[in-house]
Chains A and B, each alone.
Chain A
Amino acid sequence: MEAFTTHTGTAVPLRRSNVDTDQIIPAVWLKQVSRTGFEKGLFAAWREDPTFVLNDPAYEGGTILVSGPDFGTGSSREHAVWALQQYGFRVVIAARFGDIFRNNSTKMGLLPVVLPAEKVEGLQAAVEADPKLEVTVDLAVRQVRWADEVVPFEIDDYTRWRLMEGLDDIGLTLRHADDITAYENGRQPWLPTTV
């Protein structure tokens, strides 16, 4: 996973709530067996509308998506994270996220940032007023900064450390292989196996 420390870029305001993962990447794109090429499917249905924000040249090159609440609800498809990253996004900011999407993001190095609804709204308005506004998302000090605004955000220490180091979870867990074996030796005897 790509490490994330601090990122400065321009933002894209997505003024919609309940952006479910079926909208982020429709099911037809889930038939692929590779991990690449999903940027073409990002918001596929909405992008057919010429007025959709990603079709607005003013926001071209934006790397920070600023969405309405409940972003990434619904299906567990990690393809939603891959699509956002492969399109060029490094950060998604919203007041609330679907739990599975948020979890998937931190496994891949896409930073989900929860800000209060009024701050999200303020950032969207600021970006709409000036699409070239520089926005900095600083994981080291847990802040989002734009213009004169400095807004703190919360993220647990462990996830922050893992993101900043770009560490792979499996490698970390395998350091505790002995604990896993010990646990397995004490499992309840009636638990089923699939064989």
Chain B
Amino acid sequence: MGSIAHQQEEIMGRTLAEKVWEQHVVRRAEGEPDLLYIDLHLIHEVTSPQAFDGLRLAGRKVRRPDLTIATEDHNVPTVLGPIADPVSKTQVETLRKNAAEFGIRLHPMGDAGQGVVHIIGPQFGLTQPGMTIVCGDSHTSTHGAFGGIAFGIGTSEVEHVLATQTLPAYRPKTMAIEVSGELPVGVTAKDLILAIIAKIGTGGGQGYIVEYRGEAVRKLSMEGRMTICNMSIEAGARAGMIAPDETTFAYLKGRPHAPEGEAWDQAVEYWKSLRTDDDAVFDKVVEIDASTLTPYVTWGTNPGQGLPLGETVPSPESFDDPVARAAAERALEYMGLTAGTPLREIEVDTVFVGSCTNGRIEDLRSAAEILRGRQVRTRTLIVPGSMMVKRQAEQEGLHEVFKAAGAEWREAGCSMCLGMNPDTLKPGERSASTSNRNFEGRQGKGGRTHLVSPQVAAATAVTGRLTAPADL
């Protein structure tokens, strides 16, 4: 970036993304990407083994093990016992060896701090406003809910961060998604983000950092904000963020790694400056009215193929764009759906409540509220996002509600979100899932996924077909 652009920015005011980015530039040179400092590096077993191998081959060390934390999540079984799959077992054991060799804190299976990588960072208070956070996982965007820049990286970049605690990167453009109005009762953060992705498409956010703004966003809990930022990547954006406010500070206060005493006051003062200036200009602005939304569900094989639950399966002919039409045709074939079928009539075999999108305590509470005193008709997996979430849910008695309803109460992990552990769909099976991706085969080869909120998932479990809580 040249000096003129710099001066202009100072005159024009800056967006939240620009402020956080500028704070982390280690080195800037004409014609090169910025060298960006990384405040926190999260690691799991799937995308790290080849990175550690690379370090060993080059004789390099981990520069900042004290800014790195590892957990086991993708492969872990959600029933007690050892890992049966020898390949999964090797991968988890490889992480343990690497963490020990390079001196990295690890929360292994069975540990009270274990859980999905994007759930444990915030729970420990390691995710804080204004930070740069990366992980070899595209849903790292979750952490942007605290007002930092958080994005997923590949294994080469994992190795780069391990070795240097930095990444060379060009600053993405900025997009504001302005959400006006209030979410109606029964409509959740998940419905809002599914509606946003349906509106802008799976490529709509490519090249942008998205800042979610507006009344409806301000009123969301941290859990809801994390759900929104989590799925930024499904709209193509590498990062999504929400300016920190009192809700953020209240969530953080007292967590194990949150600042204390004078440092807390200093931090809060700085965090309060982390907002987009009134006169800042975004490269793109998208507006959406929350008050018009109803529960959303996907009907196709990408997260942009979503509609309000009250609609019918769309006809491919209804799409003007030939690419979208071809995608819809293929999606209906894969999903085994006929155009014109009311979405409410689609029957499912399995309901999954969990994942880094919707595996937090608030999600489990809202599912339990619907299942209390009712019986499920489908196989229903309730998978807490972390052992801490599990413990809290059990303290609140939620597990008894789930079990009484006939649902399965599981151990923490990624589980059926991507089926790397034994929790999978069989070919042709259909799920209502609170996870983030409805890709072909995502939850198991030949499996068919409908993305929904925890409330819709629970109501669907009760009736066996896609259902909103208000329908019960």
Contact = CB atoms under 8 A, between A and B. Distances in A.
Interface residues of A, number: 61
A100 B327 contact: no
Interface string A158-195: 10000000000110111011011001100111111111
A96 to B, nearest CB: 5
Given A99-B236, A108-B156, A170-B163, A27 B418 contact: yes
A166 B256 CA distance: 44
Given A70-B202, A74-B138, A100-B154, A22 B439 contact: yes
Contacts of A27: 418-420, 442
B203 A70 contact: yes
A192 B160 contact: no
A13 to B, nearest CB: 14
Interface in B31-56: 31-33, 35, 37, 39-40, 46-47, 49-50, 53
A152 interface: no
A37 to B, nearest CB: 12
Interface in B391-428: 418-420
Interface in B120-179: 125-126, 128, 131, 136-138, 140, 151-157, 159-160, 163-166, 168, 170, 172
Given A33-B90, A45-B440, A98 B419 contact: no
A136 interface: no
A32 B404 CA distance: 39
Interface residues of B, number: 88
B440 A81 contact: no
A21 to B, nearest CB: 9
Contacts of A17: 323-324, 326-327
Contact of B420 (A30, A169, A179): A30
B102 interface: no
B354 to A, nearest CB: 16
Contacts, number: 205
A85 interface: no
Contacts of B284: none
B257 interface: yes
Contacts of B437: 20, 22, 74-75
B259 to A, nearest CB: 4
Nearest to A106: B156
9 nearest A-B pairs in the assembled complex, by CB-CB distance: A78-B154, A104-B154, A107-B156, A76-B152, A33-B49, A190-B259, A192-B257, A78-B155, A76-B138
Interface of A: 15-18, 20, 22-23, 26-28, 30-35, 45, 68-70, 73-79, 81, 96-100, 103-104, 107-108, 117, 156-158, 169-170, 172-174, 176-177, 179-180, 183-184, 187-195
Interface of B: 26-27, 31-33, 35, 37, 39-40, 46-47, 49-50, 53, 58, 60, 63, 65-69, 74-75, 85, 87-88, 90-91, 94, 105, 125-126, 128, 131, 136-138, 140, 151-157, 159-160, 163-166, 168, 170, 172, 202-203, 206-207, 233-234, 236-238, 257-259, 263-264, 266-267, 270, 301-302, 323-324, 326-327, 330, 418-420, 437, 439-442, 445
